[in-house]
Amino acid sequence: MKIRIKRTYFIEQLNDVLKAISPRTALPILNGIKLEATEETLVLTGSDSEISIEITIPTEVNNETVLEIESSGSVVLSARFFTDVIKKLSGDFVELDTNAQFLTHIRAGKSNFNLSGNDPNQYPLLPEVNNESSIIIPSSVLKTIINETNFAVSPSETRPVLTGVNWQFLDNEIKFTATDSHRLALRKLTDKPNSVEISNAIIPGKALGELNKIIDDKEDDVEVNFSQNQVLFKYGNMRFISRLLEGNYPDTSRLFPENYETKLTVNNSEFLHAIDRVSLLAREGGNNAIKMTIENGKVELSSNSPEIGNVEEDVNIGGLEGESLQISFNSKYMMDALRAVPDEEVAIEFFGTMKPFTIQSSNSYDVIQLILPIRTY
Amino acid sequence: MKIRIKRTYFIEQLNDVLKAISPRTALPILNGIKLEATEETLVLTGSDSEISIEITIPTEVNNETVLEIESSGSVVLSARFFTDVIKKLSGDFVELDTNAQFLTHIRAGKSNFNLSGNDPNQYPLLPEVNNESSIIIPSSVLKTIINETNFAVSPSETRPVLTGVNWQFLDNEIKFTATDSHRLALRKLTDKPNSVEISNAIIPGKALGELNKIIDDKEDDVEVNFSQNQVLFKYGNMRFISRLLEGNYPDTSRLFPENYETKLTVNNSEFLHAIDRVSLLAREGGNNAIKMTIENGKVELSSNSPEIGNVEEDVNIGGLEGESLQISFNSKYMMDALRAVPDEEVAIEFFGTMKPFTIQSSNSYDVIQLILPIRTY
């Protein structure tokens, strides 16, 4: 393999592929990045065996030559080290020349590196994902969906299905659910013609987090293909593959109560700051619990930690209906939920001291956040 | 104590005082910040028993009221937590009201915090430093001196004096020396009328590092006072006190050789980038060693790590005189030294393969960096 490639463009692509590569992999070759030059393209592949990313670099981008291929071939090079070298080189273009023993000569400016490479035949094959069952989502919408749900997946492997976001395909709607069993985020995508033949797929939160770092907040289409146990996202010149989580996702529909007892409307960022202040003490106290008291048309947040002190904060109210209430909740969950509601005005509906409560935009019902209260007595 | 203070201004002062406070202190009260309101000022004190910072806040700054004192008094409050609270509050001003049990009521906007405080009489007294033996240095010059030397102090407590910078007071000159015994930084401040009665003082590198974060790159005067075992820096409304290191600083004057065998002149940032590239491989190899070969009017950097590969880089030469040379050195020390020479053109003088070499500006001899080579055979 002998190629010449535009350095700045190459660095961008390498940075994306790196997102699939974990420093703690069981298979040493997966510390590497696979480079494969054909007659017309250079394909970069990175994988940690759960997530795989494949990027195909053409010879021209926007009518500008980014890649010249003198001879085809392939090699696996230490991903992070190779990327560091390319980043620190000088010059606009960098030359790569791999010999039969996979020793790769890198030349740019006045620098000459020789890096030991590995046999690409030892690199595992990526899983096949057919494109029979697929949907198209604009990248900006996909980013929003991830931002509104992914934070709520469980960090614990105790119930593996909860570490993923459940994509549920209904007739004219897709529902995205994430829960760690203490709080839940639900996003709906409506009016989506459904060409998917499966009823649901559980995508690991970690994969969605990495995907979110790569895709742009634009209207570019992302094609999502599902197979039995893999999902493939096609985005521009990238193929992003993740395994799906196996198992049954819990039925969370029964969690949502009807007919609130108390409804509070607040300004999102003002309320977030108030929670943030009160949570300072709640955090020092150890359990993040803060108390909300709704009484006589007033809303007060408070927290108390015997050794440190206490705090009380009056909440600016946009609207208030229904019963008086005392409820305690985890302030971190509340802040996560408020950040995930994309609106300046939010409605919080309570169903009693011991029941889950919901947070959503006053204007849209596309996304709903649910939090279980903390029992304080 | 009952006061009202401008929040943004208060936060700046608290951030400075925090630099003296260590989360790992043996004396629990030193986790706190002491606030002491007199009739006209509020004095903030923080200390980790090695460094102490005292800031005096007046009632007016630039004809603007920043502090109103209703009643004097004092209290010690948990430094980090109190600062976090002040930062997250809303409103321009914050009110502090401490009762006889040191419970402190903090009010701003719609928030009311009550924090447990401690008895200020339990707070240790700061060391006394008389102002008989003092010098004045502009803050910008002091910053430069610290930047040019402090990186070279030893991180190891094996020889405690080497963890500090030696300030040596000669007749018309002050010499600042830092060394970890593998490399050395020497800065001279000339034409400085000497009113200091001691011959030298070893100031801990850690203290100088924290001081450097507080003082601005301006022409404001810093008054430096020395007593037997303390140094006091007075800067604006701040008093910064550090203990001095005890013991004899080694005589490093014999380290500097005369009459170079080889002299190389290079562009500082170009050379720094070249070293940085070659060091990539040197770092992976483990010992940071890179080799420099000067031969036939050419200069080459190289590094070799059997498992990973090798690198060679031609150096752009500004000027070259003297003998051929092969020398190995620690690339990190070279990069530190180059960053600490404030000039685009640097002269590197070599005295043979096994002798220390020096790096300095081509134009000024105020600062000289010295590095011991690595024996590679």
* pLDDT tens figures, A41-84: 999 999 999 999 999 999 999 999 999 999 999 999 999 999 99
Sheet architecture: strand order including B164-169:
B200-204, B164-169, B173-179, B183-190, B367-371, B357-361, B345-350, B262-267, B319-322
Let me know: does B26 contact B115? Beta carbons within 8 Å: no
| Cβ-defined contact of B111 to A313 (cutoff 8 Å) | yes
3-state secondary structure of B339: helix
ipTM exceeding 0.90, yes/no? no
Would you state the pLDDT for residue A187?
96
Q: Is A256-371 the same fold as A134-253? A: no
**Where residue B193 falls among pLDDT bands split at 50, 70, 90?**
low
Interface of B with A in 61-90 (CB under 8 A): 78, 81, 84-85, 88-90
Triad A218, A222, A227: Cα angle to 5°: 160
Let me know: does B42 contact B57? Beta carbons within 8 Å: yes
| Cβ-defined contact of B111 to A277 (cutoff 8 Å) | yes
Contacts of A28 (CB under 8 A, 6+ apart): none
Q: Nearest CA to CA, how far is A247 from chain B (Å)?
A: 42
Residue B298, chain A, CB below 8 Å: the answer is no
- Cα separation, A11 vs A21, whole angstroms: 15
Mutate to test the interface with A, among B76, B78, B112 (most CBs of A within 10 A): B112
Q: Nearest CA to CA, how far is B303 from chain A (Å)?
A: 9
Contacts of B81 in chain A (CB under 8 A): 280, 284, 308
Looking at CATH, the fold of the domain delimited by A134-253 is given as DNA Polymerase III; Chain A, domain 2 (3.10.150)
| Cβ-defined contact of B313 to A84 (cutoff 8 Å) | no
Contacts of A114 in chain B (CB under 8 A): 309-311
| Residue labelled with tokens 């830092």 | B178
State the amino acid at position B278 in one-letter form. Answer: V
Looking at CATH, the fold of the domain delimited by A256-371 is given as Proliferating Cell Nuclear Antigen (3.70.10)
Contacts of B90 in chain A (CB under 8 A): 273
Contacts of B302 in chain A (CB under 8 A): none
Contacts of B112 in chain A (CB under 8 A): 311-313
- The ranges assigned to domains in chain B are 2-122, 134-232+242-253, 256-371
| Cβ-defined contact of B273 to A90 (cutoff 8 Å) | yes
**pLDDT more than 70, % of chain B:** 99
- Cα separation, A20 vs A211, whole angstroms: 9
Would you state the pLDDT for residue B194?
64
- The chain A residue lying nearest B104, using CA atoms, is A309
Mutate to test the interface with B, among A313, A314, A315, A335 (most CBs of B within 10 A): A313
Architecture of domain B134-232+242-253: Roll (3.10)
- Cα separation, A375 vs A323, whole angstroms: 19
Task: For chains A and B, count residue pairs whose Cβ atoms are closer than 8 Å.
Answer: 80
Would you state the pLDDT for residue A194?
64
Q: Give tens-digit pLDDT for B216-257.
A: 988 899 999 999 899 999 999 999 999 999 999 999 988 888
Q: Give tens-digit pLDDT for B39-98.
A: 999 999 999 999 999 999 999 999 999 999 999 999 999 999 999 999 999 999 999 999
Residue B309, chain A, CB below 8 Å: the answer is yes
| Cβ-defined contact of A113 to B78 (cutoff 8 Å) | no
Of B140, B151, B206, give the one whose Cα is nearest residue B338.
B151
Let me know: does A373 contact A365? Beta carbons within 8 Å: no
| Cβ-defined contact of A111 to B277 (cutoff 8 Å) | yes
Q: Nearest CA to CA, how far is B101 from chain A (Å)?
A: 13
Q: Give tens-digit pLDDT for B165-184.
A: 999 999 889 999 999 999 99
Would you state the pLDDT for residue A25?
84
Q: Nearest CA to CA, how far is B254 from chain A (Å)?
A: 37
Would you state the pLDDT for residue B172?
86
Look up the CATH number of domain B2-122: 3.10.150.10
Contacts of A273 in chain B (CB under 8 A): 88, 90
Residue B139 burial (C-beta neighbours within 10 Å; 0-12, 13-18, 19+): buried
Residue B335, chain A, CB below 8 Å: the answer is no
Helices (H), B162-321: 205-214, 268-285
Helices (H), B89-218: 139-149, 205-214
Task: Name the stretches of chain A with pLDDT < 50.
Answer: none
User: β-strands B93-98, B73-78: how paired?
Assistant: unpaired
**Where residue B26 falls among pLDDT bands split at 50, 70, 90?**
confident
- Going from the C-alpha of A375 to that of each of A355, B72, B302, the distances in angstroms are 10, 43, 65
Q: Give tens-digit pLDDT for B318-353.
A: 999 999 999 999 999 999 999 999 899 999 999 999
